[in-house]
Structure 1
Amino acid sequence: MRLRRGAAVAAVAGGGAVTTMLVGLVTNAVSEQSRWPSWLGWLQEHPWLSFVMLGAVTAGLTALLAAFDDRRVPDRSPQPTVRSDDESGLPGAALVLRSLPRDATAFTDRAAELESLVRSVRVAQETGEVLPVHVIDGMPGVGKTTFAVHAGHVLAERFPDGQLFVNLNGHTTGRSPVQATEALASLLAAAGVPTQQIPVGDDVGAITEARAVMWRSRLAGKQALLILDNAASYRQLEPLLPGGSGCLVLVTSRRRLAAHEEVVVPVEALPPDHAVDLFVRLSGRPADALDRDAIEELVRLCGYLPLGVSLLAARLRHHPSWSADDLRERLMAARDRLGELRAGERAVAATFELSYRDLPPERRRFFRSLGFYAGTDLDAYVAAALGAESMTAARDQLDALYDAHLIDEHPGSRYRLHDLLRDYARGLADEGDGMDHLQTLRRVCTYYLAALAVANEHIVRSGAAVPPPPDGAQQVETPALGSRTDALSWLENERANILASIRRANGLALHDVVIRMAAAMAPFLRQSGPWDQAVGLHRTAADAARHAGDRQALAYALTELGVIRRFMAAYPAATEALNEAVTHYDAVGDRRGKADALNQAGIVWYLTADNDASARAQTEALALYRELGYRLGQANALADLGMVRRQTSDFDAAVAAQSEAMSIYRELGDRYGEANSLRDLGIVHCLVGEYERAGERHREAFDIYRELDDRVHQAYALNELGVVRRLTGDLDGAREAHTQALEQYTELGERFGRANSIRHLGVLDRLSGNAATAVRVLEEALEAYRELGSRGGEAAALSELGAARAVVGERRGAVEAFERSLQILRELGDRCGEAEVLNHWGALSRASGDAVAARGRFEQALGLARDIRCPLEEARALEGIGRCDRMTDDPARADRSLREALTVYQRLGVSASADDVERLLASQAG
């Protein structure tokens, strides 16, 4: 390896030398200044040959470097995530409980292990040392999870900031291990992080690291308990580890995990006397009524594993007529039937077999159906779908299986199988007819579709289309979801199970199920994310639609994919998906779908300031919605078109469009749409100098957003209120509003809004005399806008940055900022923004003593401002012209311009600027 690398380096170095020489030849050939010796002189006389050789050497070096780089790629270390084995690209989701599962009644004496763990934690806390990761390992069925949960309950008071339990599915039949990135998303959500703040993207390694950083930050300085159950490897759990010293992490795994800071707590099979005591306690019989020799033989036969002992004792409790010898004979028979298994597996599997055979036929059928379930936990509603029976019967079945120790109870009246019992149930299911699997999965998915239809009634906007319930939904019992809160809570609980069911359906090529399930989950994932999870789901749905040849379903999946890509600020990908959706909707003649896709594409073009394309898309969408009589669509297209008109300084058209949209929203009772139109109308009123009306609109919008508990848009309304306060001279009130908005944006992870708040605060810094701070803050805003691809934001930040640089004497930097800002604004058609920049630039020129250039820029600004009816910039331009005329000794003309500016300022209520002009006029008169 070293030899190859050395040869490559030598080749590159030699090639570099030849390149240098050839460049010199070409340069000398062109300049005809000096002559090269010998054959080089001949090359110099034929420069075209030097060019050819230079190109050949460059191409060779490029190929060599590419090959050298390819050899190095495999050496890169893997990202710290566990990839799913499923090729569908559909992400999994971790099951996270915000509190510990119920403590096991069957927990038996683990005094030594528990004492060791408690002592380790106590010593670390008392000495202030970092709490090490405690890995609880042992063979399947030995009681690792039970021990971890019991220890968690014992230690809970030491960790007052919360307890979290995560199932990582490291060894769960039919489920791939949960990827670290998905587990982190679930943990962050469980810890109270809003979905919009959770990092998303296509680079799994980078996103995993970003989420891990946020997770560590969230737990910094906290005392929390985290149980990572069923880990597959240290690589899977490493990103989940808190960074602080006060958090305790308990890990359970069947494998020995390599970690430098870990404390291993081995959980072995029970000592024989403890196993006997557990059996006696759970059997419900007096110890003296049992044959101890028989019991010792029973616990020996099941390997002294708590799971097996519990099942055997339950059998004896449920059969009062049996003796311990009767139970032993049945266990031996079961072991013989499972003789092909390894000794350790046979010990536990025999207890399963015995317990299963002891069930009534209908209960055996129900237990076997659990082997078809793709999720990790279930309630009675899912159980009813699995068993094709009523809720009451399913609840009885679950209770009976719980009594028989064949299923565990979780908080919220939910149940789950131990991993080994899941394996056993899956094996029983696989012995049956393959059609049973398909039919059972379809029943479960039908239940989920029916429940999702109920949930979507609460979370989808009024008047919007809701994915319809499936055929036969009337016969399906669903949870009582009476409110939006109930719906979101149910969806959060079932998220992992629904996605697992979609994954299973995709693996069985049930394309119609995948398409419908993805569509039904789309409204929830739009609002709650994580958005990279939604991207995976809609990609899977699109692939399923392609396989099924369903172009309508494909168009819908692409539309949803485009919307999510817009949320992620991946604008080119969003545009590509939405354009393809329009094509497919056209092909199938779905005008409503086409209008929806056009509306969404228009929003993307608005955000990227392609105003012409955005206006065309919204106009076409509006025409389609009107043809169809779809009122909500009309309102949405009008509102979005109004924003485009406002961005291009066509204020009258903007007010007309938003007013019509608001009227329709009120007609439909759509409070969210009404608030959005109010806010945008407030922006327009502000631009045309109607500050009182602007403030009223923004306060109305803020009140509605608060009523809807929409904190993102509350922050947008606060920012706009801050602008109104700044323009009317209330700088302290403006700072308060922008600071509050910034805090909310930062907490929620809304990057565009955050950049706006930073920009507005930078303007306040400049106006307050802190120009140096303003430059730094505005440069931060500029960088954020550029990262987001927001050209309008970039232009606004450059305009203000130029003004701040001018104050600190950075004239060249100010001019560069103004030039770039004007270039963008003219491309966007934002004439109000253009007038503002020209006024800033005119002020810089005037301060530099160039009154002629300054007056020219102020005159340009004045013409633009009057043309679009932007009075504030009109007044600023008039003031600038008046000040320039004073510099050129034309007091009469200066007086006319200044008095005209004063009139406009007074009409607008901009008292600080009016006072400045009045003082100037007074000094001129004096």
Structure 2
Amino acid sequence: MRMRRGAPIAAVAGVGAVTAMLAGLVTNTASAQSRWPGWLRWLQVHPWLSFVMLGAATAGLTALLALLDGHRTEVQGHDPTSRRVDAADPPGAALVLRSLPRDTTAFTNRTAELNSLVRSVRVAQENGEALPVHVIDGMPGVGKTALAVHAGHILSDRFPDGQLFLNLNGHTHGRNPVQAGEALAALLAATGVPTHQIPVSDDVGAVTEARAAMWRSRLADKKALLILDNAASYQQLEPLLPGGDECLVLVTSRKRLAAHEEVVLPVDALPPEHAADLFVRLSGRPADELDHGVLNELVRLCGYLPLGVSLLAARLRHHPSWKAEDLHERLVAEQDRLGELRAGERAITATFDLSYRDLTPERQRVFRQLGLYPGTDLDAYVGAALGEVSVVVARRHLDGLYDDHLIDEHPGSRYRLHDLLRDYARGLASEGDSMDHVQSVQRLCMYYLSALADANGHIVRSGASVPPPPDAPRQVETPVLQSRADALNWLENERANILACIRRANSLSLYDAVMRMAVAMAPFLRQAGPWDQAVGLHRTAAGAARQVGDRQALAHALAELGVVRRFMAAYPEAVETLNEAVTQYDAVGDRRGKADALNQLGIVWYLTADNADAARAQTEALTLYRELDYRLGQANALADLGMVWRQMSRFDAATEAQSEALSIYRELGDRYGEANSLRDLGVVHCLTGAYDLAARHHHEAFDIYAELDDREHQAYALNESGAVRRLTGDIEGARAAHSQALTHFTELGDRFGRANSVRLLGVVERVSGDAHAASRLQEEALDTYRELGSRGGEAASLSELGATRGVLGERAGAIEAFERSLEIQRALGDRCGEAELLNHWGKLLVSSDPADAREHFQQALRLAQDIHCPLEEARALEGIGRCDLVVDGPVRAEDLLRTAVILYRRLGANSAADDVERLLVSQRG
């Protein structure tokens, strides 16, 4: 691959070099002051030939570049996902059913198609062959989805690892086809992948590739069934195809999708006799009561399409007094009225019209409103909001429309319109007042804002502000959410519909609704992700705020965008966005908003180890929170400031700030904040040698995180606990804790946390004697820290890498790592890290240059005593003692070494103390 890419580049470079040379020759061709060597002199004698060759070379270079650019464009043109995210484009979300939709009663005999499909699957499985993609194509209303779902139910036992159904909206009027990246995110989440682990990026092409790779890996050894309904093109569905040979994919599409590995099952209109049988079965009339001539004419007028036949039969069933002849008369009259339509359109639309006109005026209105619904599926609460009726009435209407075959039922008491019926309902609605569309979306937004306020009451932290419900003119009925689990489940089910509603509101210039719904969705998307979806939402909200000149709303949108950018480890973008949010909050005099944005800025600067800026931001935020008497804000700023002080080795200040934060969190009953402060206090106690207290705090924090089902912070607590275990001699306990944390971080997609686990495992491997494994782990962690821009992590890994290289005898590489780490440590003000590094460096030099080693240990000792870090103090004393032992013998070294032993014993670092005591005994011998 590299050679293929390099060849065109080499060609361009070669032609460019020739061109440059010829240009030089032409420029100097008239010069008589020098004689050119060899064959070049011939060109000097024939200058016009130089011009000709220059022109040819330039033309060749231009053609080659055009060819390469055309090839690149062609490749990009084949990838519909290669574009970057449009900042003004509202986000979308795909809805995946984790089980198959209900098998329809309207399904009729498709024996040939079913037998072909089942036989193909059975033969492939029995022969151990890869299952091909099966594409079911045909015209609208012919029953493609019904066939796929029916086949899925028949084959479900062969695919015990799950059945998934995804509507790709390939031909849904008024809705964009589902993008591959969006569909992959929904599929990954549906199969149990935590949303924090799903890859995110602004580059749509890159993130689609990453998600597709994860999806293929996820199903590599699974037997699962996937129905991709309503596909627009092969390019749309290709990234969604599983990697496992034992997964069955059924695709439905109105188009003939071409791919060499697929099995195509074309579905035509029903044979006349099957269409008649379906009509008889659904009409509820005995076959001998129906005139067969009239019956055959009825199904012919429906175009033999199952959808039309079902609707027509339902009409007869709901009118016991009618005869088939009555229905035929009405259908002929309806088709005559639709004479301007094509024959196929006239057939299906006539059946729709008959069914619609048979509804009561109130139910007709409900059906029209469903045509304006921007979401994928709906329940009775959404139906009530659309129709301006009670939930009881809405449920009655939806059940009635289902009985009339005008809507489909999905699991969980939810409903969905067939695409053709959606188009028909939308057309009916467009014939009325144009304001109906706007008002319907406004009512939906009002409903979702009310329901989101209830959900946020369960998921927003104690003491934090919950986005308020709308000022509704009447009470809005919302689902009863009794717990955090209920709220998260409702939000996940409605995610795609809410985002579709925001998209529609934005297209109708309902900017106030867009801004308010973005605020209301922010807490959920912060926690649940995927974060690129949140980025799209908050960019849309920011665009809406700019449209109406609402600087307050713009500040909110920018602040949320900055937070999500932090989650994505896009730190420069996070700083830029949050700084703009601070400016906007200042402009409108919102001190609480400004404090929140400063607090988030401080966190970003802490993560990038810009400690001075972090401390300044948190101090300013704390001052504002105290002026506002906002206790949760005070606790957050104190906790975050404590982490900055700890990172700067100001342990007393860190303990004071974190202890005050802990007190406020407990006063507010904020368990999450309490756990965070306990964990960071444990880190400080570990650094100051209070290992028992550190272990207790970490254990308490872990228990609270487990109670909150917060796996990410459980992993952080495990890493801190593992460090204490290692320092107190429990190497296997440390390895187990870091390994478990690594698993959590990997599953959650937290790259920074994962890098921490890898680095700490590297330390464990070094102290347990496997320096080669330690070196590999530190290199991996170092690469990640550098990619994330984490200078603190980079410095810590370089320090450990230097120590590991020293064990391996790679002196030059060790010193190089130490020098770079020391440069970063001093720039960050991390004196504890600097002391640890100097001790590592001194240890490297003891045998070869004890005087230089002693100087490094003495620097470490001064730092450790200044910041009250007893472990590094003991290590420095031990190092100085070992240097004196080499230079002057045991007499001068013994006191220093015994002092080191006392400190090690006091800390509980018994393994280090034992090593020094063995050294003392050996010297006496």
Q: So what's the TM-score if we normalise by structure 1?
A: 0.94
Offset, 1:75: 3.0
> What is the DSSP-based 3-state SS (H/G/I as helix, E as strand, rest coil) of the residue aligned with 1:265?
strand
Per-residue deviation, 1:311: 0.3
How far apart are residue 77 of structure 1 and its match? 2.9
Shift of 1:924: 2.6
For 1:282, the equivalent position in structure 2 comes to 282
| Residues 659, 677 of structure 2: 8 Å contact kept | yes
Structure 2 distance, partners of 1:68, 1:896, is 78
Q: From the superposition, tell whether residues 756 and 789 of structure 1 become closer, same or farther in structure 2 (CA, over 3 Å).
A: same
Match of 1:509 in 2: 509
Task: Give the stretch that moved more between structures: 763-772 or 70-79.
Answer: 70-79
The CA deviation at 1:838 is 0.4
1:364-379 equivalence runs, <5 A? 364-379=364-379
2:536 aligns with 536
Residue identity opposite 1:634 in structure 2 = Q
Following the alignment from structure 1 to structure 2, what is the Cα–Cα distance between the partners of residues 617 and 278? 71
Aligned to 2:710: 710
Match of 1:74 in 2: 73
The answer on whether the counterparts of 1:88 and 1:506 sit within 8 Å (CA) in structure 2 is no
Alignment of structure 1 residues 113-152 onto 2, 5 Å: 113-152=113-152
Q: Unmatched 5+ residue regions in structure 1?
A: 23-35, 41-59
Instruction: Specify whether residues 587 and 350 from structure 1 end up closer, same or farther in structure 2 by C-alpha distance, changes over 3 A only.
Output: same
Structure 1 residue identity aligned to 2:537:
L
Listed one character per residue, the Cα deviations across residues 545-602 of structure 1 (whole Å, up to 9, x for unaligned) are 0001100000000000000000000001111110000000000000000000000011
Q: In 2, Cα distance between the equivalents of 1:470 and 1:545?
A: 18
Which residue is 1:618 aligned to? 618
TM-aligned CA deviation for residue 922 of structure 1: 2.1
Larger CA deviation: 359-368 vs 720-729: 359-368
Which residue does the alignment assign to 1:95?
A: 95
Q: Secondary structure at the match of 1:916?
A: helix
Distance 1:452 1:826, change over 3 A: same
Tell me the CA shift for residue 74 of structure 1: 2.4
Number of aligned positions between the proteins: 890
Q: Matches of 2:473 and 2:102 in 1, distance apart?
A: 34
Q: Which amino acid aligns with 2:667?
A: E
1:67 deviates by: 8.0
1:432-831 alignment to 2 at 5 Å? 432-472=432-472, 475-831=475-831
The C-alpha deviation readout for 1:391-440, integer Å capped at 9, x for no partner, is: 11111111111111101100000000000000000111111111111111
CA distance in structure 1 between the partners assigned to 2:362 and 2:126 by the alignment: 56
Deviation at 1:86, TM superposition (A): 9.0
Residue 895 of structure 2 corresponds to residue 896 of structure 1: yes
Conserved in 1, the CA contact under 8 Å of 2:85 and 2:202?
A: no
Counterpart for residue 44 of structure 2 = none
1:12 aligns with 2:16: yes
Deviation at 1:13, TM superposition (A): 2.3
Contact conserved, 2:87 with 2:539, CA < 8 A, in 1?
no
Where does the alignment leave 5 or more consecutive residues of structure 2 unmatched?
Answer: 1-7, 27-32, 38-57
Q: 2: distance between equivalents of 1:855 and 1:827? A: 24
The sequence identity of aligned pairs, in percent, is: 74
Query: Is the CA contact (8 Å cut-off) linking 2:143 and 2:307 kept in structure 1?
Result: yes
Deviation string 1:597-636 (CA, Å, 9 cap, x unpaired) is 0000110000011000000000000000000011100000
Go from structure 1 to structure 2 and tell me whether the alpha carbon gap of 1:11 and 1:122 turns closer, same or farther (over 3 Å shift). Answer: closer
Partner of 2:342: 342
Are the structure 2 counterparts of residues 365 and 639 from structure 1 closer, same or farther at C-alpha, using a change threshold of 3 Å? same
Please report how far the alpha carbon of residue 662 of structure 1 lies from its aligned counterpart in structure 2 after TM superposition.
0.6
**Cα distance between partner residues in 2 of 1:924 and 1:87:** 71
Match of 1:26 in 2: none
Indicate if the aligned counterparts of 1:447 and 1:473 stay in contact, CA closer than 8 A: no
Q: Deviations over 1:204-246 (max 9, x none)?
A: 1110010000000000110000000010100000000001110
Structure 2 Cα separation of the partners of residues 124 and 261 of structure 1:
13
Give the letter for the 2:864 counterpart. Answer: A
For 2:435 and 2:824, the matched residues in 1 are separated by 62
Moved more, 818-827 or 342-351: 342-351
Over 6 Å off, 4+ runs: 4-10, 18-22, 63-69, 83-87
Q: 1:518, 1:306 → 2: CA distance?
A: 41
Partner of 1:178: 178
SS in 2 for 1:259: coil
2:832 is aligned with 1:850:
no
Cα deviation 1:859-891 (Å, max 9, x = unaligned): 000000000000000000000000101111153
Deviation string 1:103-152 (CA, Å, 9 cap, x unpaired) is 11121111111011000000000000000000000100000001100100
Inter-CA distance 642–20: structure 2 relative to 1 (3 Å threshold): farther
TM-score (norm. length: structure 2): 0.94
Secondary structure of the structure 1 residue equivalent to 2:480: coil
* CA shift for structure 1 position 811: 0.6
For the residue of structure 2 that corresponds to 1:475, the secondary structure is coil
SS of structure 2 residue aligned to 1:77: helix
User: Structure 2 CA distance, aligned partners of 1:825 and 1:606?
Assistant: 14
**How far, CA to CA, are the matches of 2:178 and 2:752 in structure 1?**
31
Distance 1:906 1:16, change over 3 A: farther
- Residues 84 and 178, structure 1, Cα contact 8 Å, conserved in 2: no
CA spacing shift, 1:9–1:672, aligned 2, 3 Å: closer
Helix, strand or coil: the match of 2:846? helix
**Matched residue SS, 2:853:** helix
Q: Deviations over 1:794-848 (max 9, x none)?
A: 111111111111011111100000001001111100000000010000000113x
Aligned to 1:924: 923
Name the SS of the counterpart of 1:76 in structure 2.
Answer: helix
The 8 Å contact of residues 369 and 429 in structure 1, kept in 2 or not, is answered as yes
CA shift, 1:72, in A, is 5.5
Q: Which residue of 2 aligns with 1:27?
A: none
Deviations 1:41-92 (A, max 9, x none): xxxxxxxxxxxxxxxxxxx99x989988766652333464468999832221
Q: Partners of 1:431 and 1:629 in 2: how far apart?
A: 56
Matches within 5 A, 1:276-355: 276-355=276-355
Partner of 2:139, secondary structure, is coil
String of CA shifts for 1:484-503, please: whole Å, max 9, x gaps. 11111111111111000100
Q: Given that residues 641 and 657 in structure 2 are in contact (C-alpha distance below 8 angstroms), is that contact kept between their aligned partners in structure 1?
A: yes
Task: Write the distance in 1 (CA, Å) between the matches of 2:496 and 2:77.
Answer: 26
Question: How many Å separate the matches in 1 of 2:372 and 2:220?
Answer: 41
SS of the residue corresponding to residue 398 of structure 2 reads: helix
Whole-angstrom CA distance in 1 between matches of 2:528 and 2:866: 44
Deviation at 1:6, TM superposition (A): 12
Maintained 8 Å contact 1:605/1:613: yes
Counterpart of 1:924, as a letter, is Q
Deviation at 1:462, TM superposition (A): 0.6
Instruction: Tell me by how many angstroms 1:776 deviates.
Output: 1.2
What secondary structure does 2:547 align onto?
helix
Corresponding position of 2:403: 403
Per-residue deviation, 1:747: 1.4
Aligned in 2, Cα 1:435/1:618: closer, same or farther, shift over 3 Å?
Answer: same
**Structure 1 match to 2:4:** none
Q: Does 1:882 align with 2:881?
A: yes
- Cα–Cα, structure 1 residues 327 and 788, in superposed 2: closer, same or farther, change >3 Å? same
Aligned residue type for 1:599: N
CA contact (8 A) 2:803 2:840 kept: yes
Give the SS at the match of 1:172.
coil
State the partner residue of 1:840.
Answer: 840
SS at match of 2:100: coil
